[in-house]
Structure 1
Amino acid sequence: MSYQDRQTERDAQFMNAVQGGLTSAIDRGSGRTREYGRVFTALLFALFIITLLMAIMAGTRVYSALSDMRDQTDQSRLAMGLLVNSVRADDAIDAISVGAGPEGRSLVLTERLNSGTYETRIYLYQGQVVEEYSVAGTPYTPEKATPVVPTDTFDFSYADGLLTIITDEGRADVALRSVRGGA
């Protein structure tokens, strides 16, 4: 074999060795790349799960707060609705008047029946608006009254066919059907 052939063969072997080393290094590097890829995927998945859990917790808190607000609003509407419905149920000419309750003015709704005259008295007693149904002219008995709404404020006014009831829960206006209300 000539010198040139041997040199070509050595160059070929050298190139094969270099290429083999590079291939080996690439293979080892691609193994690391795969490993890094798996770690990155796992970290990305964990980040996604954590973000999702945080979003669920935030949504739960917001929903809970909105639910509490809705319950409070519903409760205040219910209480004011009970007062308004009591007034509307007894709305008749000269059926609405002002009385003297144990802690201030009372709204008196008079009902005239064949069996006698009865009063529904709405007034403030020990931090609650209460409703008492009794025979007209009898003394107030707040211990027998039905609590309607907890409040420190109870006031009402009458003008031009409109009865306005005010409590801590808000204000309710009742348009009376009777032309001559009385409060």
Structure 2
Amino acid sequence: MTDQSLYCANHPKRETSLRCNRCEKPICSSCAVLTPVGYRCKECIRGQQAGFDTALLRDYPLASIIAAVGVGLGIGILGYLWYWAGFIFAPVVGGGLAEVIRVAVGRRRSRRLPFVAVIGGVIGVLPHLFPVGLGIFSVAYAGASPAWLGSVGLKILFLLAYGFLMISTLFYRLRGIRW
């Protein structure tokens, strides 16, 4: 019996004993990708991942607009609550917002959809920061007390924290990471 050596399909000079468990192509250890069912070649992995990207072009602006409006409204409402209560409710609002986006796009998924929603969320935070920031600069220039400036600075930090908690929860829920 003759022992025939296999060589990698992508690197013809590398001897190997591995085969892709989907297409049976010989692959070396640098071309192999470990999956739960065995080793696969990068081409089979790429072809399999393309089937999971089902979002349509209209889903991206829709997700961005919903995130901007939702985060803006969420921060507006949480800003009137007792400060520490916002830390409890901000992730809840972000998770609910992710579910609204998921239903609005018809449960289609994409690798870029969570990032687009984050951009929309950041745009939703900005209108709440501009008035407070302009107030600080105009009153500080007029000679306001340091206590007043500190309380306004604290207000900005709370708004940023609420926005961060909402947007990070929104991102991870759209990304598919479950608790």
Q: TM-score range by the shorter chain?
A: under 0.3
Question: Which is strand-richer, 1 or 2?
Answer: 1
Q: Which has the higher contact order (CA 8 A, sep 6+)?
A: 2
Q: TM-score, normalised by structure 2?
A: 0.25
The TM-score, its normalising length taken from structure 1, stands at 0.25
Which structure would you say has the larger Rg? 1
